[in-house]
Chain A
């Protein structure tokens, strides 16, 4: 408090709070995401366990029934679907983390943020970076299965994969943020998730090769931003191998370019939705 004696003018001339800039609010919102995640134990277990089980069961079950075209003879389904499993982990954890935005609105935390002199960009950025961190953190855990998938990676390849994961996570988190900001309830959000995100994942070349499928399907695959994310992961994972056992299908510059553009696009989308709206916060 400012002093022992009340100012004569009722505090009207008191110094206003400093303007916080972009990074301090962004950092504090990011930190809050981390703490909240760690305190909700169910989220930790669910987030780590689900994709691993999914990958192991699918991979083992489909091992003999799926022929991978354009690939070396000995490529296993576990290996083929490994980059796709990473993409799935990134997509689902990033999107699930942005659901907390709906909770923030419902529980009221968001209204307190909206009346602070904080630039709307740092609100979006703090939240998106928080969810990105959680997604990438979980995907990193998953990388211990690289030997089990039968992929040999060097340091360069691992670092490149990490960078690709960050880029991908940022992009899909932006998408999640934008969807969550517009959703009235978590139920509505789940519905949208199933309608949009599941097909996005399936039609990305993550779990089955799309090279031999129907022309119309291939068109959708080519328009799906996640296709390029999965391709990017295929490139980075085999960066150190002389001859990759699975062809990514898209060139590295193309995969990188589209993934960057997608990340920028979803971030701008999120930013616009936060800036435009002020009234719905107080529901």
Chain B
């Protein structure tokens, strides 16, 4: 069994609002897998279904070989879950929180204490283990959350927006913790994120937008689909320019967020041609290798950050 998570035609509606529609992908064992999408894209719904908290209204999710809908306890004992919102008891210490969590997973006595101590140690929490959680910093709390998710040695660790609310240094620290975990224990990691930079670090990605899967693959594969280079032109009248570029040079140009955008195999050559033909209208021109943002635009036709707004508006019933 090398596919740890198999999602087939998964769909969900809240009343009449479609939150997820025929989403299919696979997470392989040992992978660092990211679910990337703007807010409101369907990530949280998918997270709830995969963590057995929400029954899907269509399709099927199989986790570690068990149907997430029909064999919830079989799935629950094999996955560790780290929520976006805190799930720790603030009136308990880190050690007490872990101890209670361990017992909920059937651990007790010496086994529980040994695991607990080694996790506290490994996550750099040993000195603060007896302080109430409310006295710990955000980064430390997040580490306690992850330690809690790893206590029962799950095959799959699922994290919902783990870096939301963390400052850049705590975010980097979080990533080294996760990467260390994966390398040391072989646990498969599935996380949701709306940070493009973060998604770059994943082995493979599924990109969600408005409840649909728009692309799935490694960051390199996804970028390769866009083509060689991306050129953006900042100009006075982008729509007019797009038409003239299409008609005079015979290449497809789109307008995204007030900028002219062209995908091409040979960027430098095209920059030269654009400048010689339309130099007068260009305010600024940028040439770059495609980023995940370009992938998102390529697949959806709109920008990633703007998608937040679009989805938020679309969400209203």
Contact = CB atoms under 8 A, between A and B. Distances in A.
Interface of A: 1-2, 4, 6-7, 9-21, 24-25, 27-29, 31-32, 35-36, 39-40, 107-109, 111-118, 278-279, 281-282
B30 interface: yes
Nearest to B101: A112
A279 B106 contact: no
Nearest to A115: B81
B88 to A, nearest CB: 7
A35 B100 CA distance: 12
B107 interface: yes
5 contacts: A25-B103, A112-B83, A115-B79, A116-B101, A278-B52
Contacts of A109: 87-89
B311 to A, nearest CB: 19
Given A18-B106, A116-B104, A118-B104, A9 B1 contact: yes
A212 B96 CA distance: 55
Given A10-B28, A11-B185, A278-B54, A19 B2 contact: no
B104 A28 contact: yes
Nearest to B44: A282
Contacts of A112: 81, 83, 87-88, 101, 104, 148
Interface size on B, as a range, is 35 or more
Contacts of B118: 1
Interface of B: 1-2, 4, 28-31, 48, 51-55, 64, 72-74, 76-79, 81, 83, 85-92, 96, 99-101, 103-108, 115, 118, 122, 132, 148, 150, 152-155, 183-188
Contacts of A18: 77, 105-107
B185 A6 contact: yes
B85 to A, nearest CB: 5
Contacts of A29: 100
A108 B85 CA distance: 7
Contacts of A15: 153
Given A10-B4, A16-B77, A111-B85, 20 more contacts: A1-B150, A6-B183, A10-B188, A15-B153, A17-B77, A18-B107, A20-B103, A21-B106, A24-B103, A24-B106, A24-B108, A108-B87, A111-B83, A112-B101, A115-B76, A115-B81, A117-B106, A278-B53, A278-B55, A282-B83
A46 to B, nearest CB: 16
A35 B148 contact: no
A109 B152 CA distance: 18
Contacts of A278: 52-55
Contacts of A7: 186
B31 A10 contact: yes
A39 B54 CA distance: 34
Given A12-B29, A40-B91, A1 B153 contact: yes
Nearest to A35: B92
A279 B85 contact: no
A interface, by DSSP: helix, strand, loop or mixed?
A: loop
Nearest to B29: A10
A118 B77 CA distance: 9
- Can you list the 4 inter-chain pairs with the closest CB atoms, starting with the nearest? A10-B30, A10-B29, A6-B186, A20-B106
A279 B54 contact: yes
Given A1-B184, A19-B77, A115-B76, A36 B83 contact: no
Nearest to B27: A10
A35 B31 contact: no
Contacts of B188: 10-12
Contacts of B76: 115-117
Contacts of B132: 39
Contacts of B77: 16-19, 117
Contacts of A115: 51-53, 76, 79, 81
A19 B106 CA distance: 6
A29 to B, nearest CB: 8
Contacts of B87: 108-109, 111-112
A11 B74 contact: no
Contact of A19 (B29, B73, B103, B122): B73
A112 B187 CA distance: 19
B96 A17 contact: no
Contacts of A39: 91, 132
B30 A117 contact: no
Contact of B152 (A6, A17, A31): A17
Contacts of B1: 9, 12-13
A281 B53 CA distance: 8
B17 to A, nearest CB: 14
A4 B154 CA distance: 16
A282 to B, nearest CB: 6
Q: In the complex, which of the residues B54, B85, B87 has the most CB atoms of chain A within 10 Å of its own CB atom?
A: B87
A282 B48 contact: yes
Nearest to A28: B103
A9 B105 contact: no
B11 to A, nearest CB: 16
A116 B76 CA distance: 6
A9 B81 contact: no
Nearest to B183: A6
Contacts of A40: 91
Contacts of A20: 103-106
A117 B83 contact: no
Given A11-B155, A12-B155, A113-B104, A17 B78 contact: yes
